[in-house]
């Protein structure tokens, strides 16, 4: 099958095709999500928390993002693959941003990068786009700014959010994530910008939705945000399977005849 391209992804907005995005960080998960038919797989810097067990998204490095993006890229036949620019790689000037993003595309099968930021990132977005590197912007709540924000909260400054959305779109972003903004603000932005809005905690009026795969599969042990609907409870399935295995090893039920060689 053919990969979904960046222009095809952007065109989903005009055709009214609602876009599903999920994160993935490894080969087996990405294969299954691709088979399920999601349009885009995001190698998010949330891997810092959900894979590496760190407190926030700040510590993850460019090399670590590339390592995970390589595995995801190898798994995917159809979905658009996007990789996050880790903190603070998109704030080091346009040359450094092109170098980092370019390296991420050279060494993986990712087709685009995502970066957190609004109007202050317009120049960087324009430079990356000029270099042939498609950019998905990430407005609203920006987890890489957690220290400045003092926590993860709904972002309610309508004028500021509209200004950011307009700026990243005009700078050439092909889509934007809108994280944790009130439904009516997300709807307003979605109606005003020509590129798809991908919401997370931003209501149903966006052009698409994104969730962290570990959250939606019920694999996350720590706090899960309100917007993260659980479509499965894999945490309990894994505990149950491991408990059963432990019991069967102890009582000799496993391995049975059929699991061995004569």
Which residues carry a binding-site annotation for Mg(2+)? Answer: 45, 84, 116
Q: Using the rule CB under 6 A, which residue among 212, 216, 217, 219 binds ligand KIV?
A: 212
Known catalytic membership, residue 179: yes
For residues 45 and 164, which CB has a smaller minimum distance to ligand KIV in the complex?
45
Q: Which stretch binds ligand KIV (CB under 6 A): 5-13, 44-52, 101-109, 226-234?
A: 44-52
**Burial state string for 40-60 with b = 16 or more CB within 10 A and e = fewer than 16:** bbbbbbbbbbbbeeeebbbeb
Q: Using the rule CB under 5 A, which residue among 39, 70, 84, 215 binds Na ion?
A: 84
Per the annotation, where are the binding residues?
Answer: 45-46, 84, 114, 116
**Distance (Å) of CA 241 to CA 236, 237, 244, 246:** 8, 6, 5, 9
For residues 86 and 196, which CB has a smaller minimum distance to Na ion in the complex?
86
**C-beta of 258: minimal distance to ligand KIV in Å?**
41
73 binds ligand KIV (CB under 6 A): no
Q: 179, 248, 257, 258: which one is catalytic?
A: 179
For residues 23 and 197, which CB has a smaller minimum distance to ligand KIV in the complex?
23
45 binds Na ion (CB under 5 A): yes
Q: Which does 190 bind (CB under 5 to 8 A by kind): ligand KIV, Na ion, none?
A: none
44 binds ligand KIV (CB under 6 A): yes
**C-beta of 102: minimal distance to Na ion in Å?**
19
**C-beta of 145: minimal distance to Na ion in Å?**
12
**C-beta of 232: minimal distance to Na ion in Å?**
22
Q: Using the rule CB under 5 A, which residue among 44, 117, 196, 199 binds Na ion?
A: 44
CB contact set of 243 (below 8 Å; sequence gap of 6+): none
The tokens for 237 are 């399935």
Q: Which stretch binds ligand KIV (CB under 6 A): 30-38, 43-51, 96-104, 185-193?
A: 43-51
Three-class DSSP labels, the chain: CCCCCHHHHHHHHHHCCCEEEEECCCHHHHHHHHHHCCCEEEECCCHHHHCCCCCCCCCCCHHHHHHHHHHHHHHCCCCEEEEECCCCHHHCCHHHHHHHHHHHHHCCCCCEEEEEECHHHHHHHHHHHHCCCCEEEEEECCHHHHHHHCCCCCCCCHHHHHHHHHHHHHCCCCEEEEECCCHHHHHHHHHHCCCCEEEECCCCCCCEEEECHHHHCCCCCCCCCCCCCCCCCHHHHHHHHHHHHHHHHHHCCCCCHHHCCC
Q: Using the rule CB under 6 A, which residue among 34, 39, 70, 84 binds ligand KIV?
A: 84
210 binds ligand KIV (CB under 6 A): yes
Binding site for ligand KIV (CB under 6 A): 23, 42, 44-46, 84, 138, 177, 200, 210, 212
Active site residue ranges:
179
């Amino acid at each position: 099958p053919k990969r979904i391209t960046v222009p095809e992804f952007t065109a989903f907005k005009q055709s009214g095709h609602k876009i599903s995005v999920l994160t993935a960080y490894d080969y087996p998960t990405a294969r299954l999500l691709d088979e399920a038919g999601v349009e885009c797989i995001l190698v998010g810097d949330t891997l810092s928390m959900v894979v590496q067990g760190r407190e926030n998204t700040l510590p993850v490095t460019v090399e670590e993002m590339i390592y995970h993006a390589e595995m995801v890229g190898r798994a995917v036949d159809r979905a658009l693959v996007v990789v996050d620019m880790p903190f603070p790689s998109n704030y080091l000037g346009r040359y450094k941003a092109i170098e980092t993003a370019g390296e991420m595309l050279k060494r993986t099968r990712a087709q685009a990068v995502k970066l957190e930021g609004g109007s202050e990132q317009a120049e960087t977005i324009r430079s990356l786009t000029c270099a042939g590197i498609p950019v998905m912007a990430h407005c609203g709540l920006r987890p890489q700014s957690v220290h400045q924000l003092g926590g993860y909260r709904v972002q309610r400054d309508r004028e500021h959010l509209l200004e950011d959305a307009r700026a990243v779109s005009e700078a050439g972003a092909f889509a934007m994530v809108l994280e944790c903004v009130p439904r009516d603000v997300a709807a307003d932005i979605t109606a005003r910008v020509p590129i798809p809005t991908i919401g997370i905690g931003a209501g149903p009026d966006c052009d698409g939705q994104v969730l962290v795969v570990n959250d939606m599969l019920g694999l996350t042990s720590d706090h899960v945000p309100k917007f993260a609907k659980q479509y499965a409870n894999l945490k309990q399935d894994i505990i149950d399977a491991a408990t059963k295995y432990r019991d069967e090893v102890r009582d000799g039920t496993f391995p049975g005849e059929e699991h061995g060689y004569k």
